[in-house]
Amino acid sequence: KQFEQSHSFYFLLEGEVNFSISVENNSDEFSVGKSDEQFTPIGWSGFRAPNRYATTVRCDTPCTLLKWSLDKLIKLFDEDPLIGKNFLCFVLQKAVHLLNQVWSELTKFNNSDWYVDFGQESESEQENATYAVLTPLELLRQSPFFEIFTENELDKLAGIAEKKYY
């Protein structure tokens, strides 16, 4: 799931998976790519700080996956950097088609409502638009400042967070 703390890395062996993301102020998810290619990497954003998944991945058909613990892979790569280099080069080769799909999908995304205030008057007619309010847990998961906390710790933090509206 997008923004979840990474724990595993996968290669797709059989089946088809769909990659989707949700965007700030939008509770809907939209697809940024699909793949049925053998050895499609899943969870590779977990190798990079803040070590959280960048997309939500769902199986569109029954799938067979090869799964590793990210911690064990990282430990192996630390012990043998050449294995790590070769493994990550293979992952990047297999991810190129995914990156091209994401780029293609994101260029279609309508960003006309994204207004950044540079001291100019807003051109948006939606000044009073209603936006989805993130739960405390969703907010903590998306923040790189909380990347050092485990999911259990984030759950506890979210549980004691108070909602304040200003």
Q: pLDDT tens digit string along 123-148?
A: 444 445 555 556 666 666 666 656 66
Residue 58, strand partner residues: 18
Q: Of all residues in the chain, what percent carry a pLDDT higher than 70?
A: 64
Confidence of residue 12 (pLDDT cuts 50, 70, 90): very high
How open is the CA angle 120-122-123, to the nearest 5 degrees?
A: 120
Q: Of 11, 2, 34, whose CA–CA distance to 87 is shortest?
A: 11
Q: What is the pLDDT of residue 30?
A: 80
Residue 52 DSSP symbol = B
Structure tokens at 91: 């992952």
Residue 29, strand partner residues: 22
Cβ-in-10-Å burial (0-12, 13-18, 19+) of 124 comes to exposed
Q: Is the pLDDT of residue 40 over 80?
A: yes
Confidence of residue 159 (pLDDT cuts 50, 70, 90): low
Tell me the mean pLDDT in the region 48-69.
89
| pLDDT per position as a tens digit, 69-123 | 999 999 999 999 999 999 988 998 888 888 887 777 667 655 544 444 444 444 4
Q: Is the pLDDT of residue 14 over 60?
A: yes
Q: What is the pLDDT of residue 165?
A: 44
Contacts of residue 137, Cβ cutoff 8 Å, sequence gap at least 6: 154, 155, 158
Which strands form 40-42's sheet, in the order they lie side by side? 40-42, 8-14, 64-69
Q: Which helix (H) or strand (E) holds 87?
A: helix 81-108
**φ, ψ (nearest 5 deg) of residue 12:** -75, 125
